[in-house]
Chains A and B, each alone.
Chain A
Amino acid sequence: MHPAYSVIFFTVLSGAGFGFLSLLSVSDIVQRSLHSEFKLLCYGFGFVLATVGLFASMLHLRRPERAWRAFSQWRSSWLSREGVLAVAALAAAFLHAAFALVYGAYPVLTAIPVLLLSLATVYATGMIYAQLKTVARWNSKWTPTCFLGFSIAGGALLYATATSMAPQVQFSAGYPLYAMLALAAAWAAKSIWWKRGDSAKRISSAESATGLGGIGSVRLMESPHSGASYLTREMGYRVARKHARKLRMLAVLAGCAAPIALVFASIFVPGAVFWLSLASLSFFAGSIVERWLFFAESEHAMTAYY
């Protein structure tokens, strides 16, 4: 599948944004408050991150001026559900933060919708891919699990970074530890996803695609078009697939090993803000490679015709 930058940045940025918003709301639900005004800044950052991601996704559309129509089919379409949930989650976060701004308190009652809607949005993003029977690698419950895992890991890293920056708050090892756990969980899910994907049999073959398997093995002799087509560019993407192993190593190194080491350093070495910021940046770089592979490594059933 063609790895479009717009969709890679959208899923990584929005995922982290909604993950951050959901963990901020958890901290409000358990009444573990950061400095009130600083927390408002955090909500703002999460909001902007998620929104920038959503705008990046619009670059993927060929007719973005009609994007509003995508809110209409939530009864049947995961893409539509994602749009509706994303706007609802952002509205809930805005309401929650606005209440805090006016009354100086973060009520549990308005924090719960932020948590639920943020996670539901990320789940819906994962389901857009997981629902597709045509892409064997994606067609699994582990796909939304990975999206949720990466969202929460990114959010936890940002939250730990925020606690290290927050004024009038004693930095403790607790949040970095949570972030390390979330990172480990996300990458554990991802390794299961990779393992499953590598052995996932494509359910369609040239024989079933043409129905000629009863006669013998089927080989394309003449392509329907001498050049490229939308189909071969979008679904038949093969560039750099041979480097998949190396890129996976790079993704794990930048997205998992380095951030865990840096978070570990933040507990013991002075300068937690620096270590945790670096850990977050490294995680996002690794996530971008991981997301690129998510598309580039996946094969579409349609390629059986070629």
Chain B
Amino acid sequence: MTSLPESVDSKLGLVIDLDTCVGCHACVINCKEWNTGGYGSALSDGDAYGSDPLGAFLNRIHTYEVAGDSERSQIVHFPKSCLHCDDAPCVTVCPTGASFKRSEDGIVLVEENWCIGCGLCAWACPYGAREMDPGEGVMKKCTLCVDRIYNENLPEEDREPACVRACPANARHFGDLGDPESDVSRLVAERSGYDLMPEQGTRPVNKYLPPRPRRESDGISLDGLAEAERTGSDGFFGWLDRALERLG
């Protein structure tokens, strides 16, 4: 079971738009909420209200400063979760068969009742996409909300991963990346979506859309504001400013 499937029928995954992500962490919170009550055991926290809290999350947002040629650097909010790799190294290292990749849709899952909590899969993953559950002692990872996407008890619009459903900026897209005609595949083709750490040879399914290049007219200049401050103003605060100035 820990061998990878020879072929997958579809490649379900996420496309994450770094141009539109606003870094609000709503996807993180909705993921945590759903997965605490969904597939497997609760996604627990250790010492949640103490001085040294340590919680398991399946999705995390990093914020980067990217310094390019222009004087102004660029801020990029960067959501990261399991990429459901075609060549998932976390699957083949598993000694128990708890870690597996489904042949029907390519989702990488953990059978929690088989997991011995050795942590080797987390070592094998270059993305840091797997976290040990502090309460249950088993490995946790993004399930692509396998208990939502096929769930006929949910209204159809809710049958997508919790993170995608929560995103207020529409920065997350869900679909079949194995089908070149799907919306997500077209999006990747249009916006030159790319793989993270291609050098690790994991062939991730999830794709990232790069931030659009910035125009020089983007953003406002603060020079005018500073000028206004220097020349002073009238009225009460103008008088106060001058009075304080005189006091030395």
Contact = CB atoms under 8 A, between A and B. Distances in A.
A220 B116 contact: no
A134 B125 contact: yes
B7 to A, nearest CB: 17
Interface residues of A, number: 59
B54 A227 contact: yes
Contacts of A231: 122, 128, 131
B132 A62 contact: yes
A170 B2 CA distance: 53
A123 B117 CA distance: 23
B93 interface: yes
A70 B96 contact: yes
Contacts of B126: 133-134, 204, 300-302
A203 B116 contact: no
A77 B116 contact: no
A199 interface: no
A210 B131 contact: no
B21 interface: no
Q: Is the interface of B mostly helix, strand, loop or mixed?
A: loop
B142 to A, nearest CB: 14
A234 interface: yes
Contact of B116 (A69, A132, A216, A235): A69
A305 B80 CA distance: 10
A160 B120 CA distance: 36
A79 B3 contact: no
B131 A79 contact: no
Contacts of A223: 62
A72 B96 contact: yes
B211 A302 contact: no
A208 B116 contact: no
A80 B95 contact: yes
Contact of B199 (A132, A203, A219, A306): A203
Given A72-B96, A219-B67, A227 B137 contact: no
A32 interface: no
B63 A220 contact: yes
A185 interface: no
A228 B138 contact: no
Interface stretch (B102-110, B149-157, B189-197, B226-234): B189-197
Chain B interface size band reads: 35 or more
The residue among B56, B73, B93 with the most chain A CB atoms within 10 A of its own CB is B93
A206 B53 CA distance: 27
A83 B137 CA distance: 20
A247 to B, nearest CB: 22
Contacts of B122: 230-231, 234-235
B128 A212 contact: no
Contacts of B39: none
A174 interface: no
A76 B99 CA distance: 12
Contacts of A218: 64-66
Given A73-B2, A227-B52, A305-B80, A1 B118 contact: no
B199 A230 contact: no
B24 interface: no
Interface string A273-306: 0000000000000000000000000001110111
Contact of A230 (B98, B132, B194): B132
B78 interface: yes
A228 B52 contact: yes
Contact of B76 (A203, A210, A305, A306): A210
Contacts of A66: 96, 114-116
A128 interface: yes
A222 B63 contact: yes
A301 B3 CA distance: 23
Contact of B196 (A133, A209, A221): A209
B224 interface: no
Contacts of B116: 61-64, 66-67, 69-70
Interface in A23-46: none
A212 B131 contact: no
A144 to B, nearest CB: 15
Interface of A: 1, 60-64, 66-67, 69-70, 72-73, 75-80, 83, 128, 131-135, 203-204, 206, 208-212, 214-225, 227-231, 233-235, 300-302, 304-306
Interface of B: 1-3, 18, 23, 28, 52-57, 60-69, 73-76, 78, 80, 89, 92-98, 114-120, 122-128, 131-132, 134, 137-138, 194-201, 208, 210-211
The 3 closest A-B pairs by CB, nearest first: A62-B117, A62-B137, A216-B68
24 contacts: A61-B117, A62-B138, A63-B115, A72-B95, A73-B97, A75-B2, A77-B94, A78-B93, A79-B95, A133-B200, A134-B124, A208-B197, A210-B64, A211-B196, A215-B68, A218-B64, A218-B65, A219-B64, A219-B67, A220-B62, A222-B23, A229-B57, A230-B122, A234-B123
